Each structure stands twice: as structure tokens, then as C-alpha cells.
Structure 1
């Protein structure tokens, strides 16, 4: 046996031990790299989400200021309550139009309902009926009425 190898370990056993050790180290490095990359991506996405939330809040306040300005402009020639009512009605119309624009942006196969409407007659896939068919007669009663699950 060549010098430098422990007793009972030949050259191939030593290489196998090195190979396992190398695979474990590579797996550990890969895990750490993936973990660091995911952490960095989530940090970027979190920052982006916070910026979107802040812009939405700012837009909400800007919209409130515009509505207030419109109400105050109307209040010059009308009573305050009438100006507020007209402003609220205009905001309702805008909200309804935006909702309609959002619904028209949906995929044409996506099921949607109009207020007071019903479910679509055929499923979006066009493969048949939207629900399983109902049997014409009720199912038969069990053959053994004394079964433990059937109590009178």
C-alpha cells in the first residue's frame, strides 16, 4: 500500500471520500447562491410593491383633492349639499366607467357576470355543459336497509 493513506483505505476509497466531500461542498455552495439570489429578488420586489402602494395612496389623495376642488367650484353657484351630491354622482359615473374598462380587459374566455345576470350558458372552454347533468330520477335506495349507515 502506498504511503499517505490510512490503514484499510486504498486509493479508490480515498477518491470516493473526496468525491462525496466535493459533492457536498458544491451542493452547499449552490444552496447558498440560490438563497442569496432569492433574497435579493424578494428585496427588489418588496421595494417595487411598496413604491406601487405609495403611488396608489398619493393618487387616492390627489383624486380626493380634485373631487374637493370640483365640489367647491360647483358650490360657487349652488348650495353646498347640491355641489356635494353632483360631485359624488360624477365620481360614481367615473368609478362605473373604470370598472367597465377593467372588465373589458379580461380574457374573452373568462366567465364574468353583469349585475343581476346569470352564469354563462356554456363553459368558457366550450367543451359542453357548464355543470354535470342532473339525473331524471333520484338514485335507488340501498339494497340493505339495515346497513349501519342507513337508520330509520
Structure 2
């Protein structure tokens, strides 16, 4: 009996040691990945700062070029308008645009549908396409319990 107790103690010791080695290995791997990500983030930040200064230099050059034939205030106003339009275009390019779902190559936008979302619908969510044919009168309605007369006890029935 003493031998079994000794083996249980060895098993527990082995499990604890393996868990400690696994923890240390994972910790070291995470440190290495964090170092790489920190370096990458630093390079992106430096690139962004340099791009900001380059953009400011371009804006200054545009303003000075416009200043040749225009008053100072007009050159500055035109430069600000150009930068504002560029910022608006870039913001629009950064936003994801919802794409209409195409089923079987059919044009979803040509189907008639309600102009206003139904009550309780999330705003901005695309509508599912309207069916091209009328629903089958004998087909079960999704979400409703089947009627007892519709089930044939001799055949297995599965829910879809």
C-alpha cells in the first residue's frame, strides 16, 4: 500500500512540473510575440508621423503656389477646402459599404419592397430579398408548431 501512495505522489509531482514548464514556455512565447508587435506598432507610428509632416509640407506648397496669383487669405481658404474634400473622400473610402445579396444572379434592387423598415427592424440592416413566387399554402410556417393532422406517424419527420 505504501508503494501506491508513493506513486500517486510522483504522479502529482510530475503533473505539477509539466504544468510549470508549459506555463513558462507559453509566457516566453507571449513575450517574444509582444516584442515583435511593439516594434511593428512603433514603426507604424513613426510612418504616420512622417506622413503627417509630408502632408503638411504639401499643403504649404499648394498654399504658396496659390498665393502667387491670389491674396493670402484666399490661398489659405482654397488649401483648407482641398484638404477638407480629401479628408471627406478618405473617410468615405474607409467605411465599409453594405453589398446587396445576390441570389442566383437575380437583381435584388429591382424587386419591389417596403419603403420603410418594419417595426422593430434594426436601422441600416439590409432587407432579405422578396420571394418571386407566392408561398405554398400547405407548407408549414417557420416558427409555428406543426399541426397534428400534418404529421404522418408512419414516416420520420425532421425539423429543418
Q: TM-score, normalised by structure 1?
A: 0.64
- Matched with 2:83 is 91
Q: CA deviation at 1:12?
A: 1.5
1:107 CA drift (Å): 5.0
2:51 to 42, 45, 59: 59
Alignment of 1:21 onto 2:27: no
Encode CA deviations 1:43-101: one digit per residue, 9 max, x unaligned: 21111111111111111111000000010011111111111111001011111111111
Residue in structure 2 matching 1:76, options 54, 68, 76: 68
Unaligned segments of structure 1, at least 5 residues? 1-8, 110-119, 128-152
Per the TM alignment, residue 24 of structure 1 is displaced from its structure 2 partner at its CA by 0.5
Distance 1:27 1:69 in 2: 63
C-alpha RMSD over aligned residues:
2.1
Number of matched pairs: 108
Greater relative contact order, per chain length (Cα 8 Å cut-off, separation 6+): 2
Per the normalisation by structure 2, the TM-score is: 0.61
Task: Assess, with a 3 A threshold, how the Cα gap between structure 1 residues 99 and 22 changes in structure 2: closer, same or farther.
Answer: same
* Runs of 5+ unmatched residues, structure 2: 101-115, 129-160
